[in-house]
Structure formats: C-alpha cells, structure tokens
Amino acid sequence: MNQQESIEYAKKYLADLLSFFGINVDIEASMDEEVIELSVPSTEINSLLIGKNAETLRSMQLILSSVLRNQGAAVTRINIDIADYKKQRAEKVAKQAREWIEEVLRTGDSHVAHLNAADRRIVHHVASEYPNIQTFSEGEGRDRKIIIAQQSS
C-alpha cells in the first residue's frame, strides 16, 4: 500500500471507528513529515473521544498505526486531532516551555519537567529556538522527564 493509499485507508478506518460512536463527520487527512495527520471536527462527544489525559485519543492512534502496519502500509505513523485538542495543547505547552526557558536564562538553574513524549517533543522544538539553551530527556517509560538547561560554554 503506497503513501496515498495509506492515507485513504487510515481516513476510512477512523471514519468507520467513529461510526461506532454514532459520529459521522468529514475527516481531513494530510501528510506531514512521514506522519498521517487526521483531523476530526468538533462533535457533542469530544470529551469521550479524547478521554482523560487524551488516553482514548492515543489508543485510537495506536490501533490505527497497528492496523496500517498489519496491512503493509508505506506510512504507519498516525496523529489524530479531535476538535483541535492537540493543537491547543501544543500551544499551551509551547507557552509554558518559553516561560521555563526564560526562568532558566534568568536564574541559571536547570528546570525539570515530567511530561509525556508528545509534550517533550514540543519543549525540545521550542528550546531549539534559543541558541544558549539545551534540552535532554532522562529516565524510562512513565518516569521519563525533560531537563532544560543553559548550554555550558
């Protein structure tokens, strides 16, 4: 299954999955850096589809990624966003990261944050905008954390 077929398959699979919840919406699908991006518009059951701490959302991504792998798809990485939840979350995390970085620059003290993988990626990306800041992750599994520090000269 080539890239375009992978995108169409993922879009249809998610639409079928949502239909079990009684949701029939137009899902937008695109490709961004080897990741299939699926965007679901707002519905009356956003909170159910997103779940506590976005667990349901991540579970749907995992299922869809597994299905694509089993189908021999060219692209198997999936990002599902429901009602712009992830976009808004990313903006919030980026804003918080900038505050942490400013604090590190002001005090010289490192900052440690316990974040999930997606949020750590956002912090790493924001930190890359600052030439004198470095970030790195430490720990394993759920205990993984990000450290924001000034670069040593």
Structure tokens at 132: 């004198």
pLDDT in tens, 32-75: 888 899 999 988 888 888 988 888 998 999 999 999 999 988 88
What confidence score (pLDDT) does residue 53 get?
83
pLDDT above 80: residue 15: yes
Q: Which pLDDT does position 112 carry in this prediction?
A: 93
Supply the pLDDT for residue 45: 85
Strands (E) in the chain, as ranges, are 28-32, 35-40, 78-82, 111-113, 133-138, 145-150
Find the CATH number of the domain harbouring 141: 3.30.1370.50
The pTM (predicted TM-score) of the whole model is 0.73
**pLDDT score recorded for residue 44:** 85
Range of the domain at 128: 88-150
**pLDDT value, residue 22:** 87
Residue of 22, 28, 21, 29 lying closest to 3 (CA atoms) = 29
Same structural domain, 100 and 46: no
**Which is it for the CA torsion 34, 38, 39, 45, positive or negative?**
negative
Give the CATH number for residue 21.
Answer: 3.30.300.20
Q: What is the C-alpha separation between 63 and 55, in angstroms, rounded?
A: 12
What are the tens digits of pLDDT across the range 98-153? 999 999 999 999 999 998 888 898 999 999 999 999 999 998 887 889 999 998 75
Please report, as a single letter, which amino acid is at residue 149: A
Residue 23 confidence class, pLDDT cut points 50, 70, 90 = confident
Determine the residue type at 121.
R
Q: Give the pLDDT confidence score for residue 153 in this predicted structure.
A: 57
Choose one of 83, 116, 133: the last residue of a domain.
83
**How many other CB atoms are found less than 10 A from the CB of residue 73?**
20
Q: Which of 42, 65, 83 is the last residue of a domain?
A: 83
Bigger pLDDT: 95 or 139?
Answer: 95
Do 68 and 96 fall into the same domain?
no
